[in-house]
Structure 1
């Protein structure tokens, strides 16, 4: 997997001597890369080393959302992109990529997206509607 990360990202992964922490950094960066690829809809044909993430918050607290990670593509910062990250538990990261395409780059520093919410299974079930009922109508 070394070929999927830039030198900067690989240093980020290896800077902690603890192997479990290295694995967490690996998965966190992978989630960030996947979120961007899915958001732009270009799929796995995109060379992943063209993008590089700079992580400013080394820890992602479980249940909290952080959004200070920055993306560079081909060496240029992508200010129109925000990445909201959280941890579901000790091993599972979530990253959501949000593009602010209608905003001018200089306005991005003042803009904050509302954080996504983690919905539990009970919330999904309690608010669900039957598909069969809507088809019959």
Structure 2
């Protein structure tokens, strides 16, 4: 069951595919996954969208051994991804995964038998406001204890770091249970001991059936002598009992009725560090040679014509 706990990250900014290679990656995915990617006009947005989906398919392939072309991933009305392959026998009855992308990074986390949510945030100093002016627009989303911890944390950078930690936790929890944008994250109040032993209260009630971890990607970097660009990425992973899933997501789960012993066995599995991968690691082995051969092949006009075909098919 431990192999079901995976943490992967890809630095998308380091991927510089040719148009043909980008299109090749889009066509690796099932037809229903392609239109949401090709609708983006900006190349960087296309890259984020395709890498996010490639992470999902490759992770399922690697952990569960399902051939890449036989994987079917659906999404609830709120956008939560789930595995549709109901005829395959696995070592564990639920396999849940979740992705997030922001700025340069796309990340994925998976869990056996538990719900999983993941969120990544980029910490950047606002250019036109100080830290307190920036975060005050979000004060209604935080409990009094959280807000006091944020504004009393120290320097402007410390305030922004603390703010993004809490925000990342709240987003990861909502993604874990599969709720949409209508969920008020102000209902959540997080407590911790030096950002370890992180706990959450929902509507004032303790939730002992969830665990949380915060980790970092990248590093901080000075730009000039007067301006600090904080490039550190905070990543949060939430692990929760399946009974917490909203109804639309719960219907996709094979089991939600784990007893306390079964759930604790999954809940207490060790967390893993994020493994930094390249996009090429997400391409099936038998397709890699074809992918590499496309770097200088296919004219831009040919690529654009194929994209038009994809968009036309999406309207049928």
Shared fold per TM-score greater than 0.5:
yes
8 A Cα contact 2:176 2:238, kept in partner: yes
Which residue in the other structure is 1:98 paired with? 239
- In the aligned structure 2, how far is the partner of 1:96 from the partner of 1:28? 11
Q: Does 1:46 align with 2:160?
A: no
Which residue in the other structure is 2:150 paired with? 13
**Which protein is richer in strand relative to its size?**
2
Root-mean-square deviation (CA, aligned residues, Å) is 2.5
- Consecutive unaligned residues of structure 2, counting only runs of 5 or more, are 1-137, 221-231, 243-257, 289-316
- Which secondary structure does the structure 1 equivalent of 2:194 belong to? coil
Q: How many matched pairs?
A: 121
Structure with higher RCO (Cα < 8 A, 6+ apart): 2
Which residue in the other structure is 1:70 paired with? 199
Task: Output aligned runs, 1:1-137, within 5 Å.
Answer: 1-58=138-195, 68-88=197-217, 89-90=219-220, 91-101=232-242, 102-104=258-260, 112-122=268-278, 125-126=280-281, 128-129=283-284
Q: Encode CA deviations 1:14-59: one digit per residue, 9 max, x unaligned.
A: 122211011001001110000001011112211111111112124x
Q: Encode CA deviations 1:78-125: one digit per residue, 9 max, x unaligned.
A: 1000012111134311111101443539x85xx622213312124x63
| Structure (1 or 2) with the larger CA radius of gyration | 2
- Consecutive unaligned residues of structure 1, counting only runs of 5 or more, are 59-65
8 A Cα contact 2:211 2:239, kept in partner: yes
